[in-house]
Amino acid sequence: MKKVLLHACCAVCAAYPIRFLRSEGYEPVVYFYNPNIYPEIEYKRRLDELVAYSKKEDFELYFEELKTEDFEKNTKGYEKEPEKGKRCEKCFYLRLGKTAQKAKELSIDRFTTTLTVSPHKVTRQIFEAGNTISKETGIEFLPYDFKKKDGFKITQQIAKENNMYKQTYCGCKYSIREVKQ
Ligand code: SF4
């Protein structure tokens, strides 16, 4: 089977894309790189849930230690942007860029991301980041919009069946502020 490096933001969002990619004949290798997540306890919660799911669903998983400074450096000057704005574009570019680098390191020829399963994100911004990075690195980006074909609904169902931890905000400290408003 052809391997694809699947960038995952959490277990809930990864559940349907893993199922879908397998049905398309790919072997998804999952990569958790999300320096945007705040605070550290939340990072640990999301990662722990994904580790548990990797054992249950039997997929290979790689992850990085939390380095908040990566996110802060990358989004400096965009702190006040609303969700779906410029800060999110920077955030996608950072996470997908590192995913393509990791794919290179693992000799995997293609990458994609679970980020498109969420109806709260702008797919066009995610695809633009993925396509730009693909041109820069030579690693193919698979532009799957995972929310299609009821993807969002199915991923929520799988999360419920597996009693997964579900967060209430996107990830960064600014997105906590938006939920509270
Ligand atoms: S709202 Fe979400 S996508 Fe946007 S910068 Fe924050 S964590 Fe990244």
What pLDDT is stored for residue 19 in this prediction? 98
Mean pLDDT rounded to a whole number for the chain: 96
Cα angle 1, 164, 166; round to 5: 110
What pLDDT is stored for residue 123 in this prediction? 98
The response to whether residue 34 sits with its C-beta less than 6 Å from ligand 1 reads: no
The response to whether residue 146 sits with its C-beta less than 6 Å from ligand 1 reads: no
Cα–Cα distance for residue pair 13/56, rounded to 1 Å? 16
Answer whether 0.85 is exceeded by the pTM: yes
Identify whether the C-beta of residue 90 lies closer than 8 Å to the C-beta of residue 75. Answer: yes
The response to whether residue 71 sits with its C-beta less than 6 Å from ligand 1 reads: no
Best mutation site among 87, 118, 180 for ligand 1 pocket (most ligand atoms within 8 Å of CB): 87
What pLDDT is stored for residue 180 in this prediction? 55
What pLDDT is stored for residue 179 in this prediction? 61
Burial 6-24 (b: 16+ CB within 10 A, else e): bbbbbbbbbbbbbbbbeee
Cα–Cα distance for residue pair 24/33, rounded to 1 Å? 24
pLDDT of residue 177 exceeding 90: no
Cα–Cα distance for residue pair 106/112, rounded to 1 Å? 15
> How far is CA 87 from its chain centroid?
16
Q: Which atom of ligand 1 is nearest to the CA of 83?
A: 1
pLDDT band of residue 1 (cuts 50, 70, 90) is confident
For the chain, domain boundaries: 2-180
Q: Which atom of ligand 1 is nearest to the CA of 75?
A: 5
What pLDDT is stored for residue 178 in this prediction? 61
Is it true that domain 2-180 has CATH number 3.10.580.10?
Answer: no
Structure confidence by residue, pLDDT tens digits, 134-176: 999 999 999 999 999 999 999 999 999 999 999 999 999 999 9
What pLDDT is stored for residue 166 in this prediction? 94
CA-atom Rg of the chain in angstroms: 15
Report how far ligand 1's centroid is from the alpha carbon of 38 (Å).
10
Structure confidence by residue, pLDDT tens digits, 46-99: 999 999 999 999 999 999 999 999 999 999 999 999 999 999 999 999 999 999
pLDDT of residue 103 exceeding 60: yes
